Amino acid sequence: MTASNWTVPPFGLGTFRLKDQVVRDSVRNALELGYRVIDTAQGYDNEGEIGKTIADSGVKRDELFITTKIKPDNYSADKLVPSLRESLDKLGVDAVDLTLIHWPAPRGPVSAEEYLGALADAHSQGLTRQIGVSNFTIALLKQAREVLGDLPIATNQVEIHPYLQNRKLADFARQEGIHLTSYMTLSVGKVMEDDVMKDIAGAHDATPAQVALAWAMGLGYSVIPSSTKREHLESNMKALDLKLSEEDMQRIAALDGQGERLANPASVAPDWD
């Protein structure tokens, strides 16, 4: 399967908090193992390292699906497109496959109409093949649809894991045909210590991480787990072949509400659903 066949791929590599040689090693290992989806962001400060690693890998551009995100400092109409061009230069590509608004920044100086309009302009200029959002609530998704009109929202990337299942948002997105991408699917390692997750993993000769990723993909979400260890990158890929039973899915569903929201920066976070 090549990137050209995908809308938003089900599985890829996240690079949040990975910088310098650490991100180079992670991306290099992932590409060698067969990963073809790389998720980054302007705010991660690692686009340049990722671009160099991709260039050195020999993997063809049309085999890759690359996502980046616009940081709030670049939301204004005079900054968004130039900042994306800078991201493209760092990544060494003519266009990315997907560009997201990273945070809605409801109390920020730039309105949603302005930054979504600028994102649509970036799309019309061919700088990004698809556009989307991240950390948007139901109300914000409705607003985004009004602003963007017929231009599709490819995904809403949000925190979803067994302990924060975001069901109200997920139900709305499903009804409206808006794809969700789950980040922090492993709840920063909490799933590895969970008795239910370990029990399900044992029954499938799998790891709790594989179970969490398979659960999210089973609900129709894309996942972008990160790791600095090659063996974990390789292990995570096996979640693509793991099929959980309905009983497994129900047991994981019952874990909802047992964990706090992990990503909630006061300056840019919305009033969550």
The structural domains of the chain, with segments of one domain joined by +, span: 3-154
Q: Extract the tokens encoding 199.
A: 């029990």
pLDDT at 263: 96
pLDDT at 4: 39
Q: Extract the tokens encoding 269.
A: 């976070």
What is the per-residue pLDDT across 205-227, written as a single tens digit (0 to 9) for each? 999 999 999 999 999 999 999 99
Task: Using DSSP bridges, classify how beta strands 222-223 and 13-14 pair: parallel, antiparallel or unpaired.
Answer: unpaired
pTM of the model: 0.96
CA–CA dist 124, 4 (Å, integer): 19
State yes or no: pLDDT of 6 exceeds 70. no
Q: How far is CA 77 from the centre of its chain?
A: 24
Count the Cβ atoms, other than its own, within 10 Å of residue 267.
10
Question: Where do the H-state alpha helices sit in 7-79?
Answer: 20-33, 47-57
pLDDT at 3: 41
State yes or no: pLDDT of 1 exceeds 80. no
The answer to whether the beta carbons of residues 112 and 70 sit under 8 Å apart is no
State yes or no: pLDDT of 112 exceeds 60. yes
pLDDT at 61: 97
Q: Is 161 annotated as a binding residue?
A: no
Q: Looking at domain 3-154, what is its CATH homologous superfamily?
A: NADP-dependent oxidoreductase domain (3.20.20.100)
Count the Cβ atoms, other than its own, within 10 Å of residue 168.
12
Instruction: Tell me, yes or no, if 183 is annotated catalytic.
Output: no
Query: Any residues with CB less than 8 A from the CB of 232 and at least 6 apart, and which?
Result: 209
Token pair 């061009």 is found at 85
What is the per-residue pLDDT across 143-176, written as a single tens digit (0 to 9) for each? 999 999 999 999 999 999 999 999 999 999 999 9
Count the Cβ atoms, other than its own, within 10 Å of residue 246.
8
Average pLDDT of every residue of the chain = 96
What is the per-residue pLDDT across 16-44, written as a single tens digit (0 to 9) for each? 999 999 999 999 999 999 999 999 999 99
Annotated catalytic residue within 44, 75, 115, 221: 44
